[in-house]
Amino acid sequence: MVIYGVYIVSKSGGLIFNHDHNIPRVETEKSFNYPLDVKLTYENKKVVVAFGQRDGINVGHALTAVNGNPVTGRELEDGRDVLEMLEQPENFPITLKFSRAKMTTNEKIFLASMFYPLFAIASQLSPEPRCSGIEVLEADTFRLYCYQTLTGVKFIIVADPVQPGMDILTKRVYELYADYALKNPFYSLEMPIRCELFETNLQTLLETIEKSGISNV
C-alpha cells in the first residue's frame, strides 16, 4: 500500500505545496546494437519511447543517459544531438538508460491549476444543488482524494487504489497545515508553504499510515 503524493491548492487555485512521497523509481539500462529497435521521439522537451516495448523499457519512458552521460532535453552534455547520434552506425554498440519521466515543478503547478476548474465544473454539473465537487477521482493505478475546507483550500492526496483511510488522512493533513503552516508567523497566506516543520510532520504522518494503518493516527 502506497501514498504517492500530497498536494495543497490555495483558495485561488495555485499550488502552494507538493510532496512526492513514495514514487517508485523505474530505471532500466540496456546495451543496443545498430539499428536501434525502439522508436524514439522528441516531445515535451524529452526524448521518449514511442513504440517498441521490451525488457522493462515501456512506451512513455524517457531517455536519461547515453553511455552514462546524462541527457538534457535532446542534447548530451557536450552539445551533441541525441537523435542524430543514434542514427549513425559508428556510435554503436551504445548503452541507453531509460526511466519514467519525472514531473517538473512547473508541470505540477500546471496540473494543479487544471484540477481547479475541473472541480468547479463537477460541482456545477451536479443534478442536485449543493454538490461538493470532486471528492474522489479513480483510475486503474491510483485514486485521488480531494478535501476542500470551508475556507476554500484543497487538500489532495494521490494514493494506491487499495490504500484505506485516505479521507481521514486529508483531514489530518489539514490539522498539520493549521498547526505548522498557519501558526508560523513567517508564512503568509496563499503563498507556497516552505515550512520545514510542516514537511517533517507530514512525512512522519504518511510513514505511520503506510506502516501501521490509519487507525493508529
Task: Output phi, psi for 96, to 5 deg.
Answer: -115, 140
Shortest spacing between CB 11 and another protein, in angstroms: 6
Using alpha carbons, list the distances in angstroms from residue 22 to 103, 158, 159, 163: 14, 10, 9, 13
CB of 29 or CB of 167, closer to another protein:
167
Q: How far apart are the first and last CA of the chain?
A: 16
Shortest spacing between CB 192 and another protein, in angstroms: 16
Shortest spacing between CB 123 and another protein, in angstroms: 4
CB of 106 or CB of 151, closer to another protein:
151
Count of C-beta atoms within a 10 Å radius of residue 128: 5
CB of 4 or CB of 115, closer to another protein:
115
CB of 23 or CB of 118, closer to another protein:
118
CB of 99 or CB of 149, closer to another protein:
149
| Residues that bind another protein in the complex, under the rule CB under 8 A | 11, 119-120, 122-124, 130-133, 148-153, 171-172, 174-175, 177-179, 182-183, 189, 208, 215-217
Shortest spacing between CB 15 and another protein, in angstroms: 16
Shortest spacing between CB 30 and another protein, in angstroms: 46
